[in-house]
Amino acid sequence: MILGLVLFIDMDYFFAACEELRHPELKSKAFVVGTSTIAKKERGVVQTCNYEARKFGIHSAMPTAQALWLKPDFVYLESDDEYYSLVSERVMALLKGYGFATEIVSIDEAALDLGEIGYGAAEELAKRVKKEIKDRIGLPCTIGISTGKNYAKIICDDSKPNGIGILKEGDIVPYLKGKSVEKMLGVGRKTAERLALMHIEKIGDIASADPNMLVEKLGSFGRELYLLAKGIDNSRVVESSSVLSVGRERTLERESKGMQDIEKTLMELSKEVAKELERQGLWFKGVSVKARYSDFTERIKNRKLNNYTDSLDTLYSTAMQLMKELAEEKHVRKVGVRTYILEKRTGQRKIF
C-alpha cells in the first residue's frame, strides 16, 4: 500500500530572517526581534533572534532582560508584524502555486497534502520548494516529509536549520518513543501537565498507556494522541481559504485619551468583520489589531487562537486585550481589527 504523504514547511528564524532580508548588514551581528519599543525593551520578551544571537543561548519567549544579561550588546529591533505578514503571504502564495491542498498552520508554517506521490518524488519536490523560496523570496526554510501532519512537523523541527527530513512509516514509532509529548501538534503546556499527572511524559508512554484512560481524561483528543503514538496520524491537511485576511479600519472621532474612547469603535469594527466573515462562510484562528498614533506611526499586534471560531465575543475580547497594550503608550488616532488564518466554515469543531 502506498501511503499519502504530507510536506510540512517551517521558515527558519522567521521574523529575524525577514529583518536580514531588508537589512543585510545585520547578518553578521547578533540581533533580537522583541515585543516592546526600544525605549522599554528590557520589559518585553524575545520573539525570535538570528543564529548569531542563538549562539549565546538567546531564544524565543525569553525575557529580553535575560537576553541582555547573556549578550549585553545585541542589536534590538522592534517587531514589525505587518511586514512579516506580507512576507508570509508571499511564501504561502508560492506554496499554493504547486497545486496541492495547502494548510496555513501559522505565520511561518504550512502543510501540503502530496497524496500518494512516493518518498523519492516528495524529496525532489522539497528540494525545489526550498530552492524557489530562497531564489524568489530570499529566505531559508526547513521541510519535513512523513505520512501525516504531526510526523512531518516533528521531523521538520529535528532537521532545522535549512534542512530536509524524511520519516518513513516503519520508523515512526521507534523515532517518537523517547520524545516529549509536547512535540505533538496540539499538545501545549496544559495538556502536558495533565499527562504528567498520569505519569506520561514521553510519546512512548502514550503508546503503552491504557487508551480508555486517555479517552476518559482527554476525550477524543486522547484517542487521537494514542493513535498518533502508535504510528497512525488521522489528521488531515485542511485547505486554507484563498482569502488571507478580513479586516476593517476607522479613524476615531477624536484622539483617544484612553481605552474608553476606543471600545465603541472596536466593537463596531469587530461586528463588521464578523459579518463579512459570515457572508463569505469563513471562520478565523488569528486576530490582529492596528493602532495609528497622532504622530502617524503605527503598531500592530497579533494573536493566534487555539481553535477556529466565528464568535464575535472572542473577536472583540481578543481585539480589546491586544489594543490595551497598544493604547498604553501614545494617543491613538485610527484603529483596525483584522482576522487571519481563515478557513471555510464546516460546522465541525477543530482540534488543530
The site partner of 60 among ligand TTP, Mg ion, none (C-beta below 5 to 8 Å per kind) is ligand TTP
Nearer to ligand TTP, 114 or 139 (CB): 139
Closest CB to Mg ion among residues 109, 224: 109
What's 133's DSSP letter? Answer: I
Whether 247 and 338 have beta carbons less than 8 Å apart is answered as yes
Least distance (Å) between residue 160 CB and ligand TTP: 5
Q: Please, which residue, 156 or 315, has the CB nearer to Mg ion?
A: 156
Nearer to ligand TTP, 53 or 337 (CB): 53
One-letter amino acid of 46: V
123 is catalytic: no
Q: How far is the CB of 51 from Mg ion (least distance, A)?
A: 12
Q: Rounded to whole angstroms, how far apart are CA atoms 284 and 56?
A: 37
Secondary structure of residue 34 in the 3-state scheme: strand
DSSP 141-173: EEEEEESSHHHHHHHHHHT-SS-EEE--GGGHH
Contact 220, 211 (CB under 8 A): no
Q: Cβ 331 to ligand TTP, closest distance in Å?
A: 26
* Active-site annotation holder among 109, 193, 253, 278: 109
Report the C-alpha gap between 290 and 319 in whole angstroms. Answer: 9
**Contact of residue 19 among Mg ion, ligand TTP, none (CB under 5-8 Å per partner type):** none
Write down the least CB distance from residue 117 to ligand TTP, Å.
Answer: 25
Is 330 exposed, middle or buried (CB count within 10 Å of its CB: 0-12, 13-18, 19+)? middle
Question: Minimum distance from CB of 13 to Mg ion (Å)?
Answer: 7
Q: Which residues bind to Mg ion, rule: CB under 5 A?
A: 10-11, 14, 108
Q: At what angle do helices 189-197 and 211-218 cross, to 10 degrees?
A: 130
Nearer to ligand TTP, 44 or 336 (CB): 44
Distance of closest approach, residue 147 Cβ to ligand TTP, in angstroms = 22
Element (H, E) at 119: helix 119-132
Q: Taking the alpha carbons of 187, 301, 238, 116 in that order, is the dihedral positive or negative?
A: negative
Long-range contacts of 157-165 (CB under 8 A, 24+ apart): 157/10, 157/183, 160/10, 160/12, 161/12, 161/13, 161/51, 162/12, 162/130, 164/123, 164/126, 164/127, 164/130
**Smaller CB separation from Mg ion, 84 or 316:** 84
Determine if residue 69 is left, alpha or beta; phi over 0 gives left, psi from -120 to 50 gives alpha, anything else beta. Answer: alpha
Which of Mg ion, ligand TTP, none does residue 15 bind to, with CB < 5 to 8 Å depending on kind? ligand TTP
Residues that bind ligand TTP (CB under 6 A): 10-15, 47-48, 60-61, 107-108, 160-161
- Positions marked catalytic: 109
